[in-house]
Amino acid sequence: MEYLTVNHPPLTPQDLFAIDTVGDSNLSPDGRWIAYVHLSIDRAENCYRSAIWLTDGTTRKQFTAGTHRDSAPRWSPDGRMLAFVSTRNGKPQIYVIPVDGGEARQLTHMENGATSPAWSPDGTRIAFNSSVDAGERAFEESGAIPPEDSDQRKLWKQGRERQREKQTDPRLITRFPYRMGTDFLEDRYPHIYVIGLDEEKPHRITDGDRVWGTPVWAGNEAILTTVNRDPAWLGYEFPTDIVRIPLRKGEIVAPEVLVAAPGTHTHPYPSPDGTWIAYLTSSQVRVSAQNTDIALIPATGGEPRVLTAALDAKILDFKWAADGQSLYFTYGRYGNVGVYRMTLDAHTTQVIGGLRTVTGFDLAAERLAYTVTAPDIPGDLYCANLDGQHERRLTDVNAEFLSTRWLSMPKEVCYTRPDGTQIQGWLMLPPGASEGRPCPLAVEIHGGPHIMWGNAFWHEFQCLAGAGYAVWFCNPRGSDGYGFAFRDAIHGRWGEEDAGDILAGVDELIDRGLADPTRLAITGGSYGGFMTVWIIGHDRRFKAAVSQRGVYNLISFYGMTDIPLFLEDEFEATPWGDADKLWRHSPLAYVEQIQTPLLILHSERDFRVPIGDGEQLYTALKRLGRQVAFVRYPREGHELSRSGEPEHRVDRLLRIIGWFDRYIKS
């Protein structure tokens, strides 16, 4: 009996260029219009373009256009204007534009760019973030910067660029961490500025070498934000306090600390009536695996009250309802991310559910807008009533293209481990698969380790299925979505229960006659790269493996990564304190046992998992005479698979499929 019929060709790596996504929705104050970002790929230029669109649920219209990136649309309180961030003149700056027509006006001219625009309640000012160092702050305060459109300004910029080049040749490092993403931090820290719509220069309201968070208005005369508690502690998941900064024209006022209890506290938002401040909070113990909760304090200060403790979850995002009597929020559970509502007495109901992942949401008046990804939806916009009723899909940006492609839909496969732990996974079958005929199997392992696979659109999985592989992905112990105990089960024990959970899933598929035990492949990125190499160093069932941006030597990783405290948090060990423990849990320690042909993919500007990890693994395997190849991607960082150069992303997929085919299909 035919299990999967095929009416169209499956997705290929090159189809990435044709897939668009929608995100970052923002509702107008009256709830009528939704502004959102439409992202596409410019194949000819090998880059991304994004524009802001508007929809009222009936009509859709493109609001901005050009060969650049527009993002973060934010409605003014009266609904007459939009602020947004654009790269149309180089570095990201904040622009404002009338909704009823007219040209966008550049509001900020920050030397290092501007992000995170937030309107004041009276609509006369915008707060935003921009990074500056001590010298740049002193220059601002001196008033010596000439006007933006003057010849002096051009000369001043040229001089600043020459000065910056000298500062980095050689580069003096004194801060920690000193690099992030794909860039060096250069002693700059994010600060908060406020600018009036009729003003030429913004006013900085924060000072010092501190990390100031996103601004949120608390009335018209104060800003809520976060700041790192210890100025010297700038490492992984540093503790942050919640502060309120009074606004005084031309002055920098000392912030009032509202929440400084042990732990990390972020995302403060006042209730609509100004009575309460809600925020996200998590413990500073077992940070990476810890729950994140919503807490409340009176706006005047006082003891916090945690609302979501009973959910045993990592809250992702939240917003106040207009009446201030409840909050809407998202979190992951059993492979899905939905929208929930909780009253101030902690009564919770699910508003938006289903086998899908809500990637962002907003609410205004009686309307809820949210963006969704699902196995057959790369990313689209939906709306519903505040109770979740009368849901409508507002965009289908890939309808025409996907109507010409075959998609594999995941089937849930759950199984129980000997200790009673239940593991959830999904199987995607290739086109033409039939019952009773086992398929070659590609195992995909997620990163994190504390994230969650689930019901979302995975282009990589679709490509593997289209190439003839059944694709298996599961949430082993350590994953999000099943509570703190499940997430924390691998604390100091990477490669133990988690590896067993993954391999047990493979055994389950073989026992069910769905996977061919002689044609097994495995891959994963970051922690998934760690686990790929760990497994082939302990198990020889796989005929091909691809490890991507993986951690292979925990001892050297500590000194190279931009998050060394993450390793201390996960293992309670340092290279000088317990090198034996870190080495026992390093895949490189078992390199002599690896017989599986391995392709290593790594980015040359990956500061999260530096390429040195890949170099060590490649050198060892080459010295041992194993089948190994190493691909280095220039200019790329840790996010290559998600937001790297489009041509590199396609190349990566082609190499994974080609490596599997070489050792499995031939």
How far is it, in rounded angstroms, from Cα 494 to Cα 582?
10
Within 10 A of 295 (CB to CB), how many other CB atoms are there? 23
H/E run at residue 164: helix 151-167
Residues 6+ apart with CB under 8 A from 204: 132, 137, 140, 191, 192, 193, 252
> Rounded to whole angstroms, what are the CA distances from 9 to 17, 262, 330, 397, 406?
16, 55, 35, 19, 6
How far is it, in rounded angstroms, from Cα 94 to Cα 397?
27
Residues 6+ apart with CB under 8 A from 518: 543
How far is it, in rounded angstroms, from Cα 125 to Cα 86?
18
Burial 299-329, CB ≥16 within 10 A → b, else e: beeeebeebbeebbbbbbbbbbbeebebbbb
C-alpha dihedral, 304 to 307 to 311 to 312, nearest 10°: -10
How far is it, in rounded angstroms, from Cα 600 to Cα 547?
5
Distance of CA 347 to the CA centre of its chain: 29
* Helix, strand or coil, per DSSP, at residue 153: helix
Contact (Cβ atoms closer than 8 angstroms) between residue 5 and residue 54 = no
Within 10 A of 600 (CB to CB), how many other CB atoms are there? 26
Name the residues annotated as catalytic. Answer: 526, 638
How far is it, in rounded angstroms, from Cα 96 to Cα 85?
9
* Tokens coding 337: 């991310």
